[in-house]
Structure 1
């Protein structure tokens, strides 16, 4: 590192994230700067794949953008939670599916310029149908099933714009040569 932290404090405690304010000093010049970081517990994204090769998406209203988005199931980690358990929970909660064949594909940093959020990406195969267990506010979720070709077209057309979903689909395609 080319700097040292002079002062660090959490200036906001929220339900989803906190905000940390750091005062730093660059080693070479002695110049000072302020860094604000959104502190997020991270989350898990799961790519459910049906036996016929379709990916299970959810259609979900997102308050911050005031629109309904096509996304892969995902959710926030509870404090100290294993990301795989989070992925399993979100799969069941949002889609009703479960799976005993869940594989970790990797992780992504969502917005490293100002946030420490890490999303862990998982693949679920051999899906077992069941009842969903949606939380309050998730009642309007609809399941959508797409081939990879259909997903590519929806990304090209701007119908799929969710970054975690695009990243996870790409990771799946690269790692499984599909």
Structure 2
């Protein structure tokens, strides 16, 4: 089998920030060729969930996304904190963003947003049995509206291209498969 892995010879950090870090790697390809500058975005790992209430409604959040200048309909999720277990991070995000607790949570996929330029993973969960136990507890720059949809409505939103976040479309795909809804 042909060797495809590159060897990282050195790394230089160009920018280190709380949400994104940019580094330049010098790499050696398997055939010996040198790539002088390969840019890598380092992000923390993320988690999101297709979250179902006790009455089988899908919890979605609507929020502004500045880089794309859109108001985006998404599944709940966010950054996994340093040292935090992905499932614990997801349960925390669900509680903070929606006010719901879940008694059943299952990892359904682990994906990369863009493995050619970014190094982080996204863990997607299917959460069931959601009960509202508190009001939202949002981060300083977070403003979002919690909405509930039937599974049929979510399928129509996907068919109508109304969910713009690719990672969230992927999570919904895996969840719909798991729920025998495809």
Is residue 27 of structure 2 the alignment partner of residue 24 of structure 1? yes
Task: List aligned pairs for 1:162-173, cutoff 5 A.
Answer: 162-173=165-176
In the alignment, what sits opposite 1:129?
A: 132
Equivalent positions of 1:38-77 (< 5 A) are 38-77=41-80
- Work out whether 1:10 is the aligned partner of 2:13: yes
Q: How many residue pairs are counted as aligned between the two chains?
A: 177
Q: Kindly state the Cα deviation for residue 70 of structure 1 after the two structures are TM-superposed.
A: 0.3
Measured after TM superposition, the shift of residue 25 of structure 1 is 2.6
Task: Tell me the secondary structure at the aligned position of residue 134 of structure 1.
Answer: coil
| Cα distance in 2, alignment partners of residues 109 and 27 from structure 1 | 23
1:85 pairs with 75, 84, 88, which one?
A: 88
Q: Does 1:115 align with 2:103?
A: no
C-alpha deviations, 1:124-164, integer Å up to 9, x for none?
Answer: 1111212221112223x111111222222222222211112
CA distance in 1 between counterparts of 2:51 and 2:5 reads 43
Mapped to 2, the partners of 1:5 and 1:137 lie a distance apart of: 36
How many Å apart are 1:3 and its aligned residue? 3.8
2:105 matched residue in structure 1: 102
Partner SS for 1:137 = coil
Deviations for 1:27-84, whole angstroms, at most 9, x for unmatched residues?
Answer: 4253434211111121110121023322100011111122210000111011111001
Of the candidates 140, 146, 149, which is equivalent to residue 149 of structure 2? 146
Deviates more, 1:45-54 or 1:70-79: 45-54
How far residue 99 of structure 1 moved from its aligned partner, in angstroms, is: 1.3
RMSD of the TM alignment (CA)? 1.6
| Structure 1 residues 153-164: aligned runs within 5 Å | 153-164=156-167
